[in-house]
Structure 1
Amino acid sequence: MKDILIFMSDQHSPLFSEWGSERVDTPNLMRLRDEGTSFEAAYTSCPLCVPARMSMMSGLIPGKTGVFTNNDTLSSQIPCFTHALAAAGYETVLIGRMHFVGTDQRHGFTKRLAADMTPTGWNRPVEQLKKERGDFAKTFGEPWCTDVVGAGESPVLHYDEQIVQTALAYLDQEHEKPQFIIVGTYGPHFPYVAPEELYLKYSDRVSIPKFFNNIPDYMEGFELLKNHCNHEVTENTVRGVYAAYCGMVEKMDSQIGQVRDAFLSYARKKKNGHVFGYLSDHGDQAGERRIFGKQTFFEKSVRIPMIFEGTDIRAGKKIISPVSILDLAPTLCDLAETAFCEEADGKSLKQLLTQEGAEDYERVVISQFTDSYKEKIHYGIMLRYRECKFISYHGYERFDLLFDLKNDPEETVNIIEKFPKLREWFVNIAGLYGKPEEIETEQYRRARNLKWFQYYEKVTGWKEKERWTENPPSARGELKIIANFKKGKINR
């Protein structure tokens, strides 16, 4: 049985890399691509942390898990691929982040060696987070993520360092069972703060995003989507965002190299064969179209990196047909020579990894999301077929989008009106994945239920036991270089 390690970052768009459109030095990921197989058109199932991760664990689209927000969780009665691996004899080990919510912090993991960075309960401990994170407290979410931008220390940088050191220590030990390990870091998720030397390095390279001041015409009047645009951010701030994000990506790349080297050393001693993989849950717009973070179906938000290397995995292979984060569960179980749930929406990529199998160019890859505007929920869906990408939101069908990613990779021109039959075909395919009205109704119901869960936690005095609380005082807002700082005073 092969030992398997997956390094999972948060909010890394593969467009920010040595092979992407936004050039970042990522030598360890390049080495991984050279020595393994890379999926060049991998997509998240939802451009938001918890829904994407619960889909990844279960192999089910959000429309089936019911999880569309970060205030939700996977039912403990839905099996995850970790359950299957544990049943097959693996030690399933979580080191760091997975963003589970509620009392079940395992979902098939038999060990957890480090806490998560985000709150693990239904209530957000606002006052406690302010004490722990200082001026960074609100910058972990939109629209406040651009309030503190620059170089120096941050909670994310300290958290990720601790996760990596925990992983290295674990891999330096002997373990009897075959290992399945996920090392979950938080970067390059905002706050947009990078180490000083990396921030300075990219400050000399970056410019403002192409569509920062020239938002495409197809967004005109599209209030649901334009609601994500931040019109207060200056050019200086967005340059700082780009410099910090690129710096965090390079920092993450170095950590991937550390963990991979340690894992390969461990695997050589065990002689079981190995699989090392890297992916993220979604990307980051980083100011493109004046949008920061995720929550859109544009490429920088919805595309993810997905790379595997290991025993019997082909080296230097680039798969260009679309695949999904949903594929991780059946693929890992297949590589571990065990079975996963037949009803999973993902498909095993083992043949593409280990054999000269044909790519599935006829596959349609799906991503789902529920957006809201003026307290009304709108279901959205993205479909990727060959080089075409279709986007539609319930209630805003007049703004349906169709992009030709081969000739227009930056999604500058909406060609929906030129291809009415293709639009009809996509609409019919979208209908197979659920009725918008039913999905929206379910989300209103879950929002109601959330209030009950929050109240129950408060009256029972439930305490978070697996949230990281060790952010040092030096990482609470004392930046060395400032591109933007809105809250409080800071020692410059």
Structure 2
Amino acid sequence: MAPDIATLRTLPAPAPGQDGEKPNILYIMADQLAAPQLKMYNPESQIKTPHLDRLAASSVQFDSAYCPSPLCAPSRMSMISGLLPMKIGAFDNASQINSEIPTYAHYLRSKGYHTALAGKMHFVGDQLHGYEQRLTSDIYPGDFGWAVNWDEPDTRLEWYHNASSILQAGPCGRSNQLDYDEEVMYRSVQYIWDHVRQGPEKRPFALTVSLTHPHDPYTITKEYWNRYEDVHIALPRVRMPKEELDTHSKRLMKVCDLWGQDFSDAQIRRARRAYYGSVSYVDDCVGKLLETLEAAGLGEDTIVIFSGDHGDMLGERGLWFKMSYFESSVRVPLLVNYPKWFPPHRVSQNVSTLDLVPTICDLVGTKPAPYLPMDGLSLMPHLQGREGEGNDGNDAVYAEYTGEGTVRPLMMIKRGPWKYVTCPADEPQLFNLANDPDELDNLARLSKVAPQSAAEEAAKAVLAKFEAEAEARWDFDAITAQVLQSQRSRRLVWDALREGSFTSWDFDPVDDGRAKYIRSTIPLDALERAPRAVPFGGQPWLRVESSQLDPQLRRRRRRRRRRMMMMMMMTVRMTRERWTDRILT
């Protein structure tokens, strides 16, 4: 049973990274995984995630974690840098961040870690950003082709999300995303074993495993589809006429080609069932990675972090995919597992995946660059059960979005139970999630009407503070000009690059199988003496030296080496003779 916060405060606080200990770090990311849909956050959830549930039970579990932008690339770029999207130019899925911006991979490498990435990260341009090694290609393009166009706000992008994901939802024999994630998993497991084979002098590793599931299209193999055969899939909690949606949601409906669609209950259930199956697939991947750590003898020496880039609306309010600040789109799972330092407990305060960079720095005993102030805050007080220290109890998180469905910057502030959303092109929104978890009562209306109760009077005061804070924090006109300039420049470059010969920016990992498996490339004797990635005598590795071998076995090895040398010499002599004969004839 997890200790309560009062108990944690009496425990001696560990000093990560200060005593020379350098645990490995395994960071597992899922794509489009909605926290409110998971059993660890919602006991009524129908999704089966036994591995994640077990991981959560031994982890520090964050119940109110948010992404810094409800879109893949901006969220990920902010997550790896600890900086909000507007500060680094992460405007949409075709934005590139400057290579001079440090990421957690840079900070970890500077502390002696081997940093590796397997899977999706949606980099544009620079395909490493501090990772020493990428184990796979990406699944999304690394160029400017997906740039948003505010100059043509009513033009729908043909390549973007559309209704086919829902209309064609169901089981499949195989999919591109499954092929990709299977390679991600194979490479990740192989990486862990290769790390063990290096022996006791190896560097600690920091491996990021980024899966593309459960991202749409909503399809999964029958193995996972059938896990929900006897489950009566629940319909969305909030369903409302399109005409009653806020203006941003209406634009999203049109951008995603959903405005003219009326999905049947059966179609909605099929899409949600496929999504549930995809989440179960992710859960099995998590289980396999954890099992590999244990089998390799690394389970107690590896910090495991699990999170996601954003959520999925799954039909709530008629919306699908992400791109909004409603809970199912913007709230993400976040677990930090290392019981050796952090007893399992739950954290209710708001946090952000922006906080991971300063947290990882604290874990390995370093600090982010002082000349580049972090927008994120270290989670160390939360991990150690010292909530409220270092930030005066202020649990505000911020998010910024200028991607598909916007015509001006759309910003969010979440503080305590209050969520405030503002955009010059849309009506503001204010929700008190403590009283209104489904976000149905927009208290921003109080700016135009007189409060009718003490609660409304208090809400109006909260609204005024948020409005003042947003005005002080964001210069919407300046940001709009910056975004437009970036969009136009990228479109110009992209149009030019497609003329004539096209050179892809996508990452192509070097993988020469001839140097890995064929025995003629490695002396057999070296293979015999190499570290074996098999637990032996309590050690996760075993190096067999010649001096440790039985004398008779040593003699056999010497005879075998002599035979091999004789065969090589005979081969060389025969080859010379053949070439001599050819020359003479």
TM-score (norm 1): 0.85
**Which residue of the other structure, out of 133, 136, 161, is the alignment partner of 1:111?**
133
1:101 equivalent to 2:121? Answer no
Structure 1 residue matching 2:336: 3-state secondary structure? strand
Paired position in structure 2 for 1:422: 462
Q: Provide the C-alpha distance between the structure 1 equivalents of 2:115 and 2:99, rounded to a whole number of angstroms.
A: 16
Deviation at 1:101, TM superposition (A): 1.0
Q: Which residue, 315, 333, 345 being the options, matches 1:317?
A: 345
Question: Equivalent residue for 1:91?
Answer: 114
1:449 and 2:478 matched: no
Aligned-residue Cα RMSD (Å) equals: 2.4
SS in 2 for 1:438: helix
Cα offset, 1:247, TM superposition = 0.8
Secondary structure of residue in 2 paired with 1:18:
coil
2:232 to 205, 224, 231: 205
**1:411 pairs with 2:451:** no
Equivalent position of 2:475 in the other structure: 435
1:172 to 185, 193, 197: 193
Q: Deviations over 1:31-89 (max 9, x none)?
A: 11111101110000000001000001111001201212001111111111211111111
Residue aligning to 2:87: 64
How many residues in Structure 1 have an aligned counterpart in Structure 2? 448
Where does residue 6 of structure 1 map in the other structure? Answer: 27
CA gap of 1:315–1:352, structure 2 versus 1, over 3 A, is same
In structure 2, give the amino acid aligned to 1:430: A
What letter is aligned with 1:208? L
Distance 1:35 1:413, change over 3 A: same
Measured after TM superposition, the shift of residue 395 of structure 1 is 2.3
Post-superposition Cα deviations, 1:130-167, rounded to whole Å, max 9, x if no partner, equal xxxxxxxx887345533431111221122111111111
Distance (whole Å) between structure 1 residues aligned to residue 279 and residue 134 of structure 2: 25
Structure 1 counterpart of 2:521: none
State the Cα distance separating 1:363 from its structure 2 match. Answer: 2.1
Residue segments in structure 1 that go unaligned for 5+ positions in a row: 125-137, 469-492
Q: Which has the higher strand share?
A: 1
d(CA) in 1 for partners of 2:316, 2:435: 19
* Closer/same/farther in 2, CA of residues 220 and 382 from structure 1, 3 Å limit: closer
2:298 counterpart SS class: helix
Q: Against the structure 1 CA distance between its residues 220 and 381, is the aligned structure 2 distance closer, same or farther, given a 3 Å change threshold?
A: closer
User: Secondary structure of 1:234's partner?
Assistant: coil
Shift of 1:357: 4.3
Separation of aligned partners in 2, 1:227 and 1:425: 33
> How far apart in 1 are the matches of 2:164 and 2:399?
26
Distance 1:196 1:301, change over 3 A: same
What amino acid is aligned across from residue 198 of structure 1 in structure 2?
Answer: Y
Q: Structure 1 residue 99: deviation in Å? A: 0.7
Q: In the TM superposition, what whole-angstrom CA distance separates every residue of 1:255-279 from its partner, at most 9, and x where no partner exists?
A: 011112213444538x7x3210100
CA distance, structure 2, for counterparts of residue 51 and residue 282 of structure 1: 10
Find the aligned partners of 1:31 and 1:429 in 2 and give their Cα distance. 40
Offset at residue 113 of structure 1 (A): 0.8
Aligned identity (percent) is: 27
User: Based on CA coordinates, which of the two structures has the bigger radius of gyration?
Assistant: 2
The 1:276/1:186 distance shift into structure 2, 3 A limit, reads: same
Indicate the SS of the match to 1:15: helix
Deviation at 1:223, TM superposition (A): 4.4
Mapped to 2, the partners of 1:275 and 1:86 lie a distance apart of 16
What is aligned with 1:15? Answer: 36
- The amino acid that maps onto 1:364 is A
Rounded Cα–Cα distance in structure 2 between residues aligned with 1:40 and 1:14: 9
Q: Which residue of 2 aligns with 1:148?
A: 168
Distance 1:188 1:27 in 2: 16
1:158 matched residue in structure 2: 179
1:220 is displaced (CA, Å) by: 7.4
Query: 2:249, 2:324 within 8 Å by CA — same for their partners in 1?
Result: no
CA distance in 1, matches of 2:110, 2:272: 44
Q: TM-score, normalised by structure 2?
A: 0.72
Relative to structure 2, which stretch is displaced further, 40-49 or 12-21?
12-21
Shift in Å at residue 465 of structure 1? 4.9
The answer to whether the aligner puts 1:232 opposite 2:261 as a matched pair is: yes
Would the alpha carbon gap of residues 158 and 351 (structure 1) be closer, same or farther in structure 2, given more than 3 Å must change?
Answer: same
Q: Which has the higher contact order (CA 8 A, sep 6+)?
A: 1
Q: Partner residue of 1:76? A: 99
Partner SS state of residue 74, structure 1: coil
1:352-376 per-residue CA deviation (whole Å, 9 max, x = no partner) reads 2134444764221111112566xx7
Residues in 2 aligned to 1:320 and 1:216: alpha-carbon distance in whole angstroms: 35
CA contact (8 A) 2:242 2:250 kept: no
Where does residue 484 of structure 1 map in the other structure?
A: none
Aligned to 2:536: none
In 1, are the aligned partners of 2:167 and 2:267 still within 8 Å (CA)?
Answer: no
Offset from partner CA, 1:93-141 (integer Å, 9 cap, x none): 0111111012x100000001111111223347xxxxxxxxxxxxx8873
Specify the SS of the correspondent of 1:378: coil
- Alpha-carbon contact 1:11-1:284 (below 8 Å) kept: yes
Maintained 8 Å contact 1:142/1:293: no
1:29 aligned counterpart, secondary structure: helix
Partner of 2:219: 193
CA distance in 1, matches of 2:60, 2:232: 29
Give the 3 Å change call, closer, same or farther, for CA 15–355 of structure 1 in structure 2: closer
Q: Deviation string for 1:182-216 (max 9, x for gaps)?
A: 01110000110022243244363213212235569
Post-superposition CA distance 1:436-458 (Å, at most 9, x none): 11111111111111123314533
Q: Give SS of 1:77's match.
A: coil
| Counterpart mapping for 1:30-429 below 5 A | 30-102=53-125, 104-123=126-145, 141-142=161-162, 144-152=164-172, 153-173=174-194, 174=196, 175=198, 176-202=202-228, 204-213=231-240, 217=244, 219=246, 223-224=250-251, 227=254, 230-235=259-264, 236-266=266-296, 268=298, 273-310=301-338, 312-342=340-370, 343-358=373-388, 361-370=393-402, 377-396=407-426, 399-416=427-444, 417=446, 418=456, 419-429=459-469
- The alpha-carbon deviation at position 30 of structure 1 amounts to 1.0
Over 3 Å counting, the alpha-carbon distance change for 1:365 and 1:199 in structure 2 is same
CA displacement at 1:401 relative to structure 2: 1.1
Q: CA deviation at 1:233?
A: 4.0
Letter in structure 2 aligned against 1:320: S
C-alpha contact 1:96 1:115 (8 A) present in aligned 2: yes
Aligned residue identity for 1:120 = G
For 1:275, what is the secondary structure of its paired residue?
Answer: strand
Contact conserved, 2:429 with 2:442, CA < 8 A, in 1? yes
Q: Secondary structure at 1:377's aligned position in 2? A: coil
5+ residue gaps, structure 2: 1-21, 147-157, 447-455, 510-585
Q: Could you tell which deviates more after superposition, 199-208 or 327-336?
A: 199-208
Amino acid at match of 2:25: I
SS of 2:35 mapped into structure 1: coil
Residues 394 and 436 in structure 1, CA contact (< 8 A), matched pair in contact too: yes
Q: 1:123 to 1:225 in 2, by over 3 A?
A: closer
